Amino acid sequence: MKTSNYRMMMIIDVHRRLWIPIICMMIVLFHAGSSGVVAAPMVPAMFVFGDSLVDSGNNNYLSSMAKANYMPYGIDFTGWPTGRFTNGRTIADFLGEKLGLPYIPPYSDPNTIGTRMVDGVNYASAAAGILDETGQNYGQRFSLSQQVLNFQNTVYQLRYQMGGNITQHLAKSIAFLVFGSNDYINNYLIYRPSYTPDDFANLLINHYTRQLLALHSMGLRKFLVAGVGPLGCIPSQRATAPPGSCVNSVNQMLGTLNVGLRKLVAQLNSDHPGAMFVYGNTYGGMGDILNNPGAYGFSITDRGCCGLRSQGDITCLPYSVPCPNRSQYVFWDAFHPTQSVNAVLAQRAFVGPPNDIYPMNVQQLAQF
């Protein structure tokens, strides 16, 4: 009996030894896939500037009320919050994956130093806007101008590491900018300054232009500038409209800004032939999803998966229980899209036609 047991233990041990390297390899492959790493990156780096739509954790380190450092944010990403304002990945995460890059670390993270900056840095900050005063009601945040200064600091550090190679590194990298939503939600629609909607949009474009040119002067040559989506259709705004309706007055005032940004990239391309500026039609992409949700697998468009269900004007509170069918929701909370929507928008930006992304898509921009 002892001999039989001994033989059985030997057989189990042999099988265990055979399976250990296989299991280890599966774990390595799983983590490689989950980190978004691809063997041959299409660009050396991506530098992300913006607001909560692409914040990857910067506001975790700021004195701000605009934070997503609690559950259930991140429930479908790592299983715990990272500072991303959605249930999973942002559009910047998906674009980075498609470009073959690892997840871009937040600038404010003390660990974002040295070689961790080589693949890119994320400067995006929740509540931030094109204007410095935008989002002041939430406390500390990195405005567009401050994010440009933070990038300048990164360039100094990279130059110390890379020497003369940094010129080519920056020229081949992509700058992804997502701004404008807070300039309306947390500025114009609250304080109602004396500007007309058209004058306010032109003010934003003038400020935006100066900062884009500043980034160009520091060595960046490939720019993806996202337009503003239909803010009148986010749950926080729909709470003020009749059931089933968007706030059309809010959506209409965005036209001047989005049209102006599209014209701006054309002008910048004309003025800077060695660079490429691209406009992402976020308004059109989100509008298509909202008008034809079933075509993308969505069924709920008028409220967030997490937050106050009846009105949608309170965002996802700590340890709230989110909806179980998250992939069917367009919005994660009162302001931000779900991971599933971010995936659709990233795909349209990456391979879409000029109606989605002008004058070329991100795949073409990477090869420019």
SS3 assignment for 312-350: CCCCCCCCCCCCCCHHHEEECCCCCECHHHHHHHHHHHH
Confidence at residue 313, expressed as pLDDT on a 0 to 100 scale: 54
Q: What are phi and psi of 124, to 5 degrees?
A: -60, 145
Confidence at residue 38, expressed as pLDDT on a 0 to 100 scale: 43
Which of the four pLDDT bands, split at 50, 70 and 90, describes residue 67? very high
Q: Tens digit of pLDDT for each residue in 147-160?
A: 999 999 999 999 99
CA distance 90 to 87: 9
**Homologous superfamily assigned to 44-367:** SGNH hydrolase (3.40.50.1110)
Q: Under a CB-based contact definition with an 8 Å cutoff, are residues 223 and 175 in contact?
A: yes
Name the 3-class secondary structure at 229.
coil
Q: What is the mean pLDDT of residues 118-144?
A: 98
Q: Of 28-37, 118-127, 271-280, give the lowest mean pLDDT range.
A: 28-37
Nearest to 128 by CA among 50, 234, 230: 50
**Does the structure show a pLDDT above 60 at 20?**
no
Pairing of strands 276-280, 357-358: antiparallel
Q: What is the mean pLDDT of residues 237-245?
A: 91
Chain mean pLDDT for the chain: 90
**Does the structure show a pLDDT above 50 at 213?**
yes
Q: Under a CB-based contact definition with an 8 Å cutoff, are residues 155 and 175 in contact?
A: no
Q: What is the mean pLDDT of residues 268-285?
A: 98
Q: What is the mean pLDDT of residues 216-237?
A: 97
Angle between helices 91-99 and 339-351 (to 10 degrees): 50
CA distance 39 to 6: 46
Confidence at residue 324, expressed as pLDDT on a 0 to 100 scale: 95
Q: What is the mean pLDDT of residues 310-337?
A: 87
**Does the structure show a pLDDT above 70 at 128?**
yes
Which of the four pLDDT bands, split at 50, 70 and 90, describes residue 23? very low
Q: Tens digit of pLDDT for each residue in 344-361?
A: 999 999 999 999 999 999
Of all residues in the chain, the percent with pLDDT exceeding 70 is: 88
Which of the four pLDDT bands, split at 50, 70 and 90, describes residue 32? very low
- The full set of domain ranges for the chain reads 44-367
Q: Under a CB-based contact definition with an 8 Å cutoff, are residues 173 and 216 in contact?
A: no
Catalytic residue positions? 52, 333, 336
Confidence at residue 40, expressed as pLDDT on a 0 to 100 scale: 87
Q: The whole model's pTM is what?
A: 0.89
